Amino acid sequence: MAGSPQGLARVGASHRITDQACKLRFYDSWAPEYDQDVAALKYRAPCLAVECLSGALLGPPRDALILDVACGTGLVAVELQARGFLQVHGVDGSPEMLKQAQARGLYRHLSLCTLGPEPLPDPEGTFDAVIIVGALSEGQVPCSAISELLRVTKPGGLVCLTTRSNPSNLPYKEVLEATLDSLEQAGAWERLVAQPVEHWELATSEQEMGQGTCADRGFIPGIIYLYRKQERGQGEGGRPSVQAPVHP
């Protein structure tokens, strides 16, 4: 494990808060130190998720309209811009996190939205791709809100999601995967990728390191999912819009 004791304590505390309103207040207070704290933990999710998404998007990156859900301070937008994606919108439930994101100057538009209690502020079928990184855990975005990500995605567009696979997050991950699978069985989207990642971020405590953790290096694991929304008229029983392998 690495990083300052205060930084480790803040990240660890964020993992333990299970009430959404409490967690948003915590993120407001954490916003000024957030980037330095997650950098110290070698947090790789934004880079890995954007890499996965960008490899599947068709057409020039500059033409793609992307929604970054639970955008925080804008770490995903940094990775998107590095790959040529310039039309990025962001939403987050923390006003102070949005101030940090605004200061980066990488978003075309930013909105305050607490996904779960509130719907996303955009019309149906707006975005070429929707990405949510680091917000799918207990006390953050509930699994019941996954359908909102799908709603604002264009038919044939992509949805990229991530979550942690360490022991404390496994109950949430199980519900999440059941939700993702049920939408696929209903013909709403098809899975293109389910990519486990061993070195997701450094653990903040010994308690976070259990079975399945790269204990020798102190990392906890995570996973990236990528889905393609079905084209119009391809509901349950319809032919998939893309034939793509599911990566173990």
- pLDDT tens column, 100-136: 999 999 999 999 999 999 999 999 999 999 999 999 9
- pLDDT tens column, 221-231: 999 999 999 99
Q: How many domains does the chain have?
A: 1
Bridge partner list, 110: 90
Nearest to 173 by CA among 200, 148, 152: 200
CA neighbours closer than 13 Å in the CB half-sphere of residue 205: 13
Tokens 């069985």, located at residue: 185
Domain with 100 in it = 10-208+216-229
Domain of 145, CATH number, reads: 3.40.50.150
Residue 24 lies in a domain: yes
Q: Which two tokens stand for residue 151?
A: 């709603």
Residue 113 lies in a domain: yes
Residue 246 lies in a domain: no
Residue 240 lies in a domain: no
Contact between 37 and 3 under an 8 Å Cβ cutoff? The reply is yes
Confidence at 9, pLDDT banded by 50, 70, 90: confident
pTM of the model: 0.90
Residue 2 lies in a domain: no
Residue 130 lies in a domain: yes
- By 3-state DSSP, what share of the chain in percent is helix, strand and coil, each rounded to 5? 40, 25, 35
Residue 27 lies in a domain: yes
Residue 60 lies in a domain: yes
What is the residue-averaged pLDDT of the chain?
89
- What is the residue-wise DSSP string for 129-191? EEEE-S--STTSS-GGGHHHHHHTEEEEEEEEEEEE-SGGGHHHHHHHHHHHHHHHHTTSEEE
% of the chain at pLDDT higher than 70: 88
CA–CA dist 147, 202 (Å, integer)? 31
Bridge partner list, 91: 69, 111
